[in-house]
Amino acid sequence: MMPIYELAAHQRANEIAQFVEPKTRILDLGTGHGALAHVLKKKLSADVVGIDVRDGRKWDIDFLVFDGENLPFGDKSFDSTVIVFVLHHASNFRKLLHEAARVTRGAIVIYEDTPANAFERKLCAAHGASFNKTFGIKNGTTFLSEEEWLREFNAVNFSVVSNKSAGPANPIYMTRRRMFVVTPRE
């Protein structure tokens, strides 16, 4: 039986494949256990590099640990970057977005929880605190609504190529989730 993380990774990889070319170089920023990098490598015959603030890999992938803000790659080193439910954990998500733009030639695919009301914000805050405690992350979390993310993308000079619901809904963690595909404006 396939682990739950790998099932979710297959779903995400199918969505990402609509915006990312096969046989290219992909950065999985905030790779976590590495399931998505593993699946993207197989599905797209891609060169995928995972990077995170700690090594939590459960899959054998190309991987680096970084400081959470400064990506240790040259300019335009990757054809695309995926950032899946990571930005809300970043100590400085704006700097991380700038770094992603710096190292990426094409699309940046971003998944985020996007709470739309007080109840969803409380769920997200509880999730963020629990996740950060479990994984020893010292900084707080920043959960933004869809509209707030769109303003942030504009502020860091991104064009939004796609913005859609990132379903299916989770019956336990009931908050809105979005998949944003952005490209840096020249």
Helical packing angle, 4-16 and 35-44, nearest 10°? 50
pLDDT band at 169 (very low <50, low <70, confident <90, very high): low
| pLDDT score of 26 | 98
| pLDDT score of 1 | 46
- Give the separation between CA 160 and CA 154, rounded to whole angstroms: 8
pLDDT band at 133 (very low <50, low <70, confident <90, very high): confident
Which residue type is seen at 121?
A: R
Q: Which two tokens stand for residue 52?
A: 């995170």
* Percent of the chain with pLDDT strictly greater than 90: 73
Query: What does the pLDDT look like over 41-82, one tens digit per residue?
Result: 999 999 999 999 999 999 999 999 999 999 999 999 999 999
The HSE-up count of residue 23 (CA atoms within 13 Å, CB side) is: 0
pLDDT at 166 over 90: no
pLDDT at 24 over 90: yes
- Give the separation between CA 158 and CA 167, rounded to whole angstroms: 24
The total domain count for the chain is 1
- Give the separation between CA 107 and CA 8, rounded to whole angstroms: 21
pLDDT at 139 over 90: no
- pTM, entire model: 0.94
- Give the separation between CA 89 and CA 166, rounded to whole angstroms: 18
Q: Are 176 and 115 in contact (CB under 8 A)?
A: yes
Q: Which domain holds residue 160?
A: 4-184
pLDDT band at 135 (very low <50, low <70, confident <90, very high): confident
Q: Are 50 and 24 in contact (CB under 8 A)?
A: no
Q: Which residues contact 124 (CB under 8 A, 6 or more apart)?
A: 88, 113, 115, 141, 143, 175
Q: Are 141 and 125 in contact (CB under 8 A)?
A: yes
Give yes or no for a cis peptide into 72 (omega within 30° of 0). no
Mean per-residue pLDDT of the chain: 91
- β-strand pairing of 25-29 with 47-52: parallel
- β-strand pairing of 177-184 with 158-165: antiparallel
| pLDDT score of 2 | 55
Q: Which two tokens stand for residue 148?
A: 């707030």
| pLDDT score of 5 | 67
CATH number for the domain harbouring residue 73: 3.40.50.150
Lowest mean per-residue pLDDT among 64-78, 117-131, 162-176: 162-176
* Mean pLDDT across 34-42: 96
* Percent of the chain with pLDDT strictly greater than 70: 94
